[in-house]
Amino acid sequence: MAKLTMNTPGSSTPREAVFVPPKQQGISKWILAAGAAVFLAMFTGLVVTTTLLLSQQNQTVVEVAETATALEEPSLPDLTNAVTRQEMSLLKSETEEAIPAIAAPVLPQSAEVEPEAPAPIAVAAATRTPLRLGVAHRYRVPSCVDYLDTLVKITTVNFPLGSDIPVAADMIRARNIATAVKTCDEVKVVVEGHSDRRGTAQLNMDLSWFRAQSVIDQLQREGYDISALQPRGFGATRPVNFAGTISGEAENRRVQFTLAPRSAPTTVSLSGN
């Protein structure tokens, strides 16, 4: 604040005027202090949070490592090597069992005594007994009879009620049987027809035989050799489902297959099937 003395024209008395300068506008120091405090608090919280997260992550990694070490869990390469060593051990033991070790010839004690030649060791049995890697037992080479025996056990041809026309989808495996038996001279395939338990015994016996013959006729029409196929009918004497329901009797209307020696007699008449 300043005082000014001014002379007014026409007046002998000077006048005093008070001059007050305007206040300067600026940011209060309290506002600056509050802002600095807020920034410092936020920065401190961020540092503390980051430190806690890193510490927790490191602790988790350490716990996982300690757990794996305590359990002594092998890695994938270790497991693979263990399986390989086990299989090679089994292969070695089976080979030593199948093929006897050849004894080393006894050296002559003196030059005058001629050693006898070691007797030859037959290994034909070992060559006919292949080894399965990783299995503790041997198995023989499957023959055509083994293949046919497996095939006939899983093959069934079903029929509608009172019909001798086979279900088309069921003929796929029957074709495989006809193909396999052509190259197997040791056995023939008996085509066994069956019926449900409805109707008279003679009607079911005839219908079962016609079902077996219908399968053979279908294969012949498709160009398969049927010389090793023999039809037989069993009527309702061999049901596979005794429930007496509609679905159960549908399972009994079927044709199944069995193997028999080629020298066995062939039955073609309806009576006595």
At 197-223, the pLDDT tens digits run 999 999 999 999 999 999 999 999 999
From the centroid of its chain, how far is CA 155? 24
How many other CB atoms sit within 10 Å of the CB of residue 13?
A: 6
The second-level CATH assignment, the architecture, of 144-261 is: 2-Layer Sandwich (3.30)
Percent of the chain with pLDDT over 90: 41
Q: What is the mean pLDDT of residues 183-208?
A: 95
Token output for 224:
């398969």
Closest Cα to residue 91, out of 263, 83, 245, 31?
83
Q: What is the mean pLDDT of residues 109-123?
A: 52
Residue 114 burial (C-beta neighbours within 10 Å; 0-12, 13-18, 19+): exposed
Closest Cα to residue 254, out of 195, 181, 185, 207?
195
Beta-strand pair 2-6/15-19: antiparallel
pLDDT of residue 225: 95
Q: Say if pTM beats, i.e. exceeds, 0.75.
A: no
Give me the phi and psi of 37, to 5 degrees please: -65, -40
pLDDT of residue 269: 42
| pLDDT tens figures, 136-171 | 444 556 789 999 999 999 999 999 999 999 999 999
Give me the phi and psi of 122, to 5 degrees please: -80, 125
Q: Helix %, strand %, coil % for the chain, to 5?
A: 45, 10, 45
E-assigned strand segments in the chain = 2-6, 15-19, 157-158, 187-193, 229-233, 254-261
Question: What is the chain's length?
Answer: 273
Q: What is d(CA 195, CA 160) in angstroms, rounded to the nearest whole number?
A: 10
Q: What is d(CA 194, CA 180) in angstroms, rounded to the nearest whole number?
A: 23
Q: Which positions ≥6 away from 139 have C-beta within 8 Å?
A: 130, 132
Name the more confident of 118 and 187.
187
Give me the phi and psi of 128, to 5 degrees please: -90, 0
pLDDT of residue 123: 40
Q: Is the pLDDT confidence value at 227 over 80?
A: yes
Q: Is the pLDDT confidence value at 129 over 60?
A: no
From the centroid of its chain, how far is CA 204? 44
Token output for 258:
């069995």
For the ranges 55-69, 81-95, 97-111, 139-153, which has the lowest average pLDDT?
97-111
Percent of the chain with pLDDT over 70: 57
Q: What is the mean pLDDT of residues 168-196?
A: 94
pLDDT of residue 67: 61
